[in-house]
Amino acid sequence: MNVRTALIRAAGWTGLGLLSFLVCGFWYVGAAWVSGMLPSAGKSAQVPPGKPPAYLCEAAFHTDIALPLDGEIANWRKDFRGYLPDYLPRDTYLLFGWGDSVFFTKVLYPEDLTLPRGLSALAGMNPVAMRIVPVYGSDVRDVCKPLPGGQDTKRVLIDEIRASLKRNAEGAYVQIDTAVPGELLLAARGRYSPFNTCNQWTARVLGRAGLPRATFAPFAWSVTHPLNLSAAARPDE
């Protein structure tokens, strides 16, 4: 085989690989769009938020569930004593987000997302973690959206978060080192993949709490759009 033939074949395989990638990407995004447009209704969607509410916080590529630090159902201050500072004010919320530990610790800016890091996460090669971030309640109320469903929904959200956290033989949470100031990273259950992303975890937890959700929710808008559709359908909003 001469060099010219080898180059032609290599170009052909490269083109075929690129085409396959584009086709898979098209179906991936398409499946997410259809799932987001046809979400579950959510039996708790018509119930007003609890007091204080749980919130859903959306970033560009990620969603978090926000719960009060000193709640009447869960006292996270007590649960995380020794993991979080004792001086946090009472009007503090904790943001809970499940995901790949390397994304949480190494990818702080878009330029940090290298090909090896992205591929290792999508292949499920890294430990997963629950990222917990204390924030002022005023910031949560300004930026995030209250979740409907009342106290029952909030109780399920709390139970699902606790069930997602790993513990060691002594029953303590397993902390993961992070250089990000103010964040707590705890080892979590599960495995990250293109079909089990951080947003898929959030959507699944919301669904178990009786809230509208897309079956396939790899993107942040996949989580928020079903809730927005449900809110638009309510006559009082």
Sequential pLDDT tens for the chain (237 residues): 565 554 444 444 444 445 445 556 667 788 888 888 888 888 888 889 988 999 999 988 899 999 999 988 999 999 999 999 988 999 999 999 999 998 888 877 667 777 777 778 888 889 999 999 999 999 999 999 999 999 999 999 999 999 999 999 999 999 999 888 889 999 999 999 999 999 999 999 999 999 999 999 999 999 999 999 887 665 554
On the CB side of 190, CA atoms within 13 Å amount to: 25
Q: What angle do CA 126, 197, 194 make, to 5 degrees?
A: 80
pTM: 0.88
Decide: 63 and 202 in contact? Cβ < 8 Å.
yes
Rounded CA-CA distance 215/221 in Å is 13
Rounded CA-CA distance 102/153 in Å is 31
Decide: 35 and 202 in contact? Cβ < 8 Å.
no
Q: Give the DSSP letter of residue 53.
A: P
